[in-house]
Structure 1
Amino acid sequence: MGTLQFIQTTPEQLAELISDGVRSEIQILKKELLHENANDDLLTREQTAELLHINLSTLWTWTNKGKIKAYGISGSRRYYKRSEIMQALQELKK
């Protein structure tokens, strides 16, 4: 069996230790979220259809039904966010 050690800690020291731990975890979470958003590639219609292994008409139908969100400037090409495509796939699996 291991040795049990008791360390005297004041309530203020304990609160500071907890605060430091929470602060550290929040910083890690922020970095992960920023990294995830930085990799939010825009995909063309063709790339999105290829990623999903569907044809362009199916992609058009899914977009018009609101299953997948498209982005673009009026009158120009449509783009899809990779993260939203992956999230849609995860939701369908539920």
Structure 2
Amino acid sequence: MGERQSSGGGMEAIYFDSGDDADELITALQSEGYTTRLARDGFAGEDDSDDRAWVLVVEPFDERVSEMVDVYGGWLPGDDRPAADPLELPGEPKRLKD
């Protein structure tokens, strides 16, 4: 898999909440010949190291990589595309019959 480090770089990066999602994208990208580097990066104000995002740097970063981001649950900083429609949740709790 990709190299894991403890801080992100200044290059175009893909962010993930889950390291497993990042690992799946790494596997797919490496099978297509991309070079990857995975790191953890905290956002401003986050003290808990478990809350830090996974940051994946891919070289070269091209249109193919951009297409794969949503499929594997990642996001790009500054991405202004609308988010997927939220799941429809029930308005009230379900009641079970005795």
Q: What TM-score does the superposition give when structure 1 sets the normalisation length?
A: 0.26
More strand by percentage: 2
More helix by percentage: 1
Greater RCO (CA < 8 Å, at least 6 residues apart)? 2
